[in-house]
Structure formats: C-alpha cells, structure tokens
C-alpha cells in the first residue's frame, strides 16, 4: 500500500500524512489482543498490575528520549516547542507530571511504589523495547527521531477506549487511578500536530519520506512488542520469564506447561 506513487518521486505532504496514518491503522497497538482484553475488562487484577508495572518503565524513559531529542535540535524555537514534553512528564514541582500520575495508576492497582521504580520485576522484553526507542532517538537523524513520536497521532482513540473500558469493567479502577490519561488527551494531539508538521515540512525526498515511515513503523513495533511480552507472560500461555513479576493471582495456561 505505502509503495503507491513512490517510483514516480516523493509524495506530497498530504499524501505523506495519509501514508503515515495508514501505518498507524495497520500497526498501532490498539489492534493488539492485550489492549482488547484490557479495555474489555477481561484481565485479572494481577494482569493489570503487570501492565502498569511494565508500562511504568516506558513512561519513565519518555523524558530521557525527549532530552536526547532536545539535545540534537539546532534552534531555540524547536527546543522551546519540544521541551514542553519533558515538562509534561517530569512536572514543575514534586508530585506533578505524567510519571507521578502513572505511579498513582500503579499504586491504584495495588503495586508498591518502590517495587515499581526499582524496575526489578520488569519483563526483559519491555526493557529491551523501551531502550531500543531511546537509542533510536539518540542515534538516528533528527527527522527519524521526530517521526518516531508520531504514534501520538493515534493515542487519543486508544486512551478514550482504555479509560471508558477500564472504568466500566474493573471494580478496582477509579477515575483517580486513571488521572494520567486526562491531560494526555490534549497534550498528545498538540505534540503530534507539531511533529507531523515538522515531518511534512522536512521529509521532501523519497529517501527522507521512506525513513520517516520506517521510523513510525519502528515505533509501532516498540509498542507492539511490549504487549506481545505482556500477553505471553501473563495471559496466554502465561510463561513468566525468570526473575520477572509474578502476580498473586497468576495462572499459567496448563498447555504451556505441557509444551
């Protein structure tokens, strides 16, 4: 699909945007069965804990990757725009910001904050995927680093599904627990609009457009691989890797043991 028109030369900015949105429609992690189980209320509490625990590491590394990105931006104008992301996640005083709000979610589902921040029980696959994202932003071109953030184009939809589904379906989830997501509904579109405008403006050659699309595919892989690992360890077949978090209510699929 994404190859249409490429032999003839670069895409128009509008066609590039359409191609980027198509990548999301095909690969964003709202399509993953773990997400579907999560918002449909079909997970046990321990499985939601595993999600919150692992996703904490992703949240905690977002300002790190944004700091690497900031460090590579050539103008104050770009850095001013991008630094709001760091402020959103780190807050402007103790007890504020996205990471703290994520910790409230983790506590709300019954995890001890020290255990969460230690990352002791993290799935290795989560660490590898998240670190791959940080390294990507640090090592690739600025265009690719910015394009890799474009999954935020698709996040308002998944957040809306997640919040309404989780509130409706889990007795242990309250609006306070999910406070992380409320500001994201306005932050993510603002951030995504900026990044999309940058990519449309700066990816003008066939090569740069291909690199931007590959960067977005890479980022979809980063998110998808995290849900694969959660699903495998905690849902089906439920094979927790050595050393990773084992929920109190964990139950491996009997077929997994037989394998």
Q: Is 127 in the site for its own copies (CB under 8 A)?
A: yes
Dihedral pair phi/psi, residue 149, rounded to 5°: -80, -5
Contact predicate 68/138, CB 8 Å: yes
Of 66, 60, 54, nearest in space to 29 by CA:
54
Stated as kind and residue range, the H or E segment containing 135 is helix 124-139
Q: What is the per-residue binding string for its own copies in 67-106, x denoting contact by CB under 8 A?
A: ----------------------------------------
Q: Which is nearer to its own copies, 106 or 235 (CB)?
A: 235
Nearer to its own copies, 68 or 236 (CB): 236
Q: Which two tokens stand for residue 219?
A: 């980022």
Q: Give the long-range contacts of residues 9-12, CB within 8 A, separation 24 or more.
A: 9/206, 10/204, 10/205, 10/206, 10/209, 11/209
Q: For residues 180 and 232, which CB has a smaller minimum distance to its own copies in the complex? A: 232
Q: Which of 108, 225, 234, 245 binds its own copies (CB under 8 A)?
A: 225
Q: Which stretch binds its own copies (CB under 8 A): 145-153, 179-187, 197-205, 226-234?
A: 226-234
Reading the block at residue 15, the tokens are: 């066609």
Token pair 């994404």 in the structure block, residue? 2
Q: Which residue in the set 15, 131, 141, 190 belongs to the binding site for its own copies (CB under 8 A)? A: 131
In this chain, which stretch among 44-52, 157-165, 205-213, 251-259 interacts with its own copies, using CB under 8 A?
Answer: 251-259
Using the rule CB under 8 A, is 129 a contact of its own copies?
yes
How far apart (Å, rounded) are the C-alpha atoms in residues 123 and 175?
Answer: 27
Contact between 251 and its own copies per CB under 8 A: no
DSSP string, 53-83: HHHHHHHHHHHHHHHHHHHT--SHHHHHHHH
* Burial label, 206 (beta-carbon count in 10 A; 0-12, 13-18, 19+): middle
Does 195 interact with its own copies (rule: CB under 8 A)?
no
62 binds its own copies, rule: CB under 8 A? no
The residues that touch its own copies, with contacts defined as CB under 8 A, are 26-27, 33, 36-37, 123-125, 127-129, 131-132, 135, 217-218, 220-222, 224-225, 228-229, 231-233, 235-237, 239, 241-243, 255-256, 259
């Amino acid at each position: 699909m994404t190859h249409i028109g490429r032999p003839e030369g670069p895409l128009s900015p509008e066609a590039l945007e359409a191609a980027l949105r198509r990548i999301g429609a095909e690969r964003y992690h709202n399509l993953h069965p773990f997400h579907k189980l999560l918002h449909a209320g079909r997970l046990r509490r321990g499985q939601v804990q595993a999600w919150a625990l692992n996703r904490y590491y992703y949240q905690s590394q977002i300002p790190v990757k944004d700091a690497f990105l900031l460090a590579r931006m050539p103008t104050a104008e770009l850095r001013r725009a991008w630094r709001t992301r760091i402020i959103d996640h780190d807050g402007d005083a103790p007890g504020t910001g996205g990471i703290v709000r994520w910790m409230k979610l983790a506590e709300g589902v019954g995890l001890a904050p020290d255990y969460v921040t230690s990352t002791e029980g993290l799935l290795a696959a989560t660490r590898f995927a998240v670190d791959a994202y940080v390294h990507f932003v640090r090592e690739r071109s600025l265009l690719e680093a910015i394009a890799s953030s474009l999954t935020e184009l698709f996040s308002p939809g998944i957040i809306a599904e997640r919040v309404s589904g989780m509130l409706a379906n889990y007795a242990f989830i309250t609006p306070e627990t999910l406070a992380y997501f409320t500001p994201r509904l306005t932050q993510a579109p603002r951030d995504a609009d900026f990044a999309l405008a940058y990519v449309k403006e700066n990816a003008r050659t066939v090569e740069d457009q291909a690199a931007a699309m590959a960067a977005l595919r890479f980022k979809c892989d980063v998110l998808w691989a995290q849900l694969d690992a959660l699903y495998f360890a905690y849902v089906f077949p439920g094979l927790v890797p050595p050393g990773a978090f084992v929920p109190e209510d964990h139950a491996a699929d009997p077929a997994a043991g037989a394998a």
